[in-house]
C-alpha cells in the first residue's frame, strides 16, 4: 500500500488486509474465524456475495465480491474483490480499513490509483447482521502526480466476514 502520510496507521491496514488474504475458513486452524452467517456463497461461477458501489468523478465502481475482517466492532480490513475470488478481473479494486483517524482506503480503476491514509469519511457498522462500510466525502489522493485527488462516496456490503479476535 502506498501512503500519503507517514506513521503506523497505514501499516496496520496493510497488516490486516494481508491477514485477511491469508485467512482460512477452518476455525480450528488457529486463524481468525469466519462468520457462519457470512460464509461466501460460491458455485461453479465463483460468485461471492457482497456489494460495492463507489461513486467518484470518473464513474461508478461496482464489485459483487467482498471480504471483510472485523475486530472490536469495526471493519479493519476490506477487499473488493474478495481475495479468494479468482473470477473477478481487476481493475477495479478497492481495499479499506476503518481505523478511526488512521483509516485507509485504496481505489484502483482504469484511469489510475488513488489512496487515503489517516482521515475521516470511512465508517463501518453491523446492521441487521450484515457488515457495511460507508464512504462519505472521502478524498483519495492520486498515486500519479499528474492526476488530482478524487472524492468518493458509497457503500460496501461484506459478503465474507472474518472475525479477528
**How much is the pLDDT for 145?**
66
Longest Cα–Cα distance of the chain, Å, equals 48
Instruction: Give the tens place of pLDDT for each residue, 119-149.
Output: 779 999 999 999 999 999 999 999 976 788 9
pLDDT in the model for residue 47: 45
**Mind listing the pLDDT tens digit for each residue in 12-46?**
333 344 334 434 333 333 444 444 333 334 333 34
* pLDDT for the residue numbered 20: 43
Q: pLDDT at residue 54 above 80?
A: yes
Q: What is the mean pLDDT of the chain?
A: 76
DSSP secondary structure letters along the chain? ---SS-SSHHHHHHHHHHHHHH--S-GGGSSPEEPGGG-----TT-PPP-EEEEEETTEEEEES--EEEEETTEEEEEEES-TT-TTS-SSSEEEEE--GGG-EEEEEETTEEEEEES-SSEEEEEETTEEEEEEEEEEEEESSTTS--EEEEEEEE-SEEEE--
- Rounded Cα distance between 6 and 95, Å, is 19
C-alpha cell at 15: 497488516
Domain boundaries, given as residue ranges, for the chain: 48-159
Q: What string of H, E and C letters represents the secondary structure of 106-145?
A: EEEECCEEEEEECCCCEEEEEECCEEEEEEEEEEEEECCC
CB proximity list for 49: less than 8 A, separation 6 or greater: 38, 40, 41, 64, 65, 66, 159, 160
Pick the CATH number of 48-159 from 1.10.20, 1.10.3470, 2.20.130, 2.40.128: 2.40.128
Amino acid at each position: 500500500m502506498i501512503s500519503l502520510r507517514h506513521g503506523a496507521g497505514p501499516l496496520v491496514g496493510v497488516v490486516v488486509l494481508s491477514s485477511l488474504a491469508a485467512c482460512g475458513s477452518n476455525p480450528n486452524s488457529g486463524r481468525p474465524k469466519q462468520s457462519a452467517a457470512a460464509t461466501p456463497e460460491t458455485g461453479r461461477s465463483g460468485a461471492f456475495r457482497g456489494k460495492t458501489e463507489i461513486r467518484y468523478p470518473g464513474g461508478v465502481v461496482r464489485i459483487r465480491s467482498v471480504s471483510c475482517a472485523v475486530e472490536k466492532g469495526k471493519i479493519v480490513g476490506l477487499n473488493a474483490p474478495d481475495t479468494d475470488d479468482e473470477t473477478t478481473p481487476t481493475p477495479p479494486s478497492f481495499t479499506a480499513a476503518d481505523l478511526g483517524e488512521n483509516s485507509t482506503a485504496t481505489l484502483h480503476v482504469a484511469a489510475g490509483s488513488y489512496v487515503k491514509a489517516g482521515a475521516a469519511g470511512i465508517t463501518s457498522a453491523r446492521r441487521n447482521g450484515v457488515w457495511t462500510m460507508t464512504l462519505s466525502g472521502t478524498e483519495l489522493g492520486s498515486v500519479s502526480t499528474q492526476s488530482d485527488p478524487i472524492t468518493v462516496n458509497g457503500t460496501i456490503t461484506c459478503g465474507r466476514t472474518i472475525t479477528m479476535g
